[in-house]
Amino acid sequence: MTLKRRLPFLRWSVLRMAGSGTRNIVTTGQIGDGREAAAVAYVLANARAGDIDDVLATIDKFAYEESMLINVGDEKGALLDAAVRRADPKLALELGTYCGYGALRIARAAPAAKVYSVELAEANAVNARQIWAHAGVADRVTCVVGTIGDGGRTLDALAAEHGFTAGALDFLFLDHDKDAYLPDLHSIVDRGWLHAGAIVVADNVKVPGAPKYRAYMRDQQGTRWNTVEHKAHLEYQTLLHDLVLESEYLG
Ligand X SMILES: C[S@@+](CC[C@H](N)C(=O)[O-])C[C@H]1O[C@@H](n2cnc3c(N)ncnc32)[C@H](O)[C@@H]1O
| Distance in Å, CB of 103 to ligand X, minimum | 7
| Distance in Å, CB of 221 to ligand X, minimum | 25
Residue with smallest beta-carbon separation from ligand X? 29
Residue 89 binds ligand X, judged by CB under 6 A? no
Residue 68 binds ligand X, judged by CB under 6 A? no
Residue 72 binds ligand X, judged by CB under 6 A? yes
90-119 mask for ligand X (x: CB under 6 A)? ----xxxxxx-xx---------------xx
114: number of Cβ within 10 Å: 18
| Distance in Å, CB of 104 to ligand X, minimum | 8
Cα 155 to Cα 164: distance, rounded to the nearest angstrom:
9
Q: Identify whether the C-beta of residue 201 lies closer than 8 Å to the C-beta of residue 172.
A: yes
Candidates 67, 71, 237, 247; binder of ligand X (CB under 6 A) is 71
List, by residue number, the catalytic residues: 175, 178, 203-204, 235
Q: Identify whether the C-beta of residue 72 lies closer than 8 Å to the C-beta of residue 102.
A: yes
Q: Identify whether the C-beta of residue 207 lies closer than 8 Å to the C-beta of residue 159.
A: no
Candidates 11, 176, 191, 233; binder of ligand X (CB under 6 A) is 176
116-145 mask for ligand X (x: CB under 6 A)? --xxxx--x---------------------
DSSP state of 239: S
Q: Which residues of 67-104 are buried (b: 16+ CB within 10 A; e: fewer)?
A: bbbbbbbbbbbebbbebbeebebebbbbbbbbbbbbbb
| Distance in Å, CB of 201 to ligand X, minimum | 10
Query: How far are the Cα atoms of 102, 136, 152 from residue 107, in angstroms, in the given order?
Result: 9, 11, 26
Cα 69 to Cα 83: distance, rounded to the nearest angstrom:
22
Candidates 67, 147, 237, 247; binder of ligand X (CB under 6 A) is 147
CA nearest 229: which of 197, 208, 209, 202? 202
Determine the size of the site formed for ligand X (CB under 6 A): 22
Residue 29 binds ligand X, judged by CB under 6 A? yes
Per CB under 6 A, residues contacting ligand X are 29, 70-72, 94-99, 101-102, 118-121, 124, 147, 175-177, 180
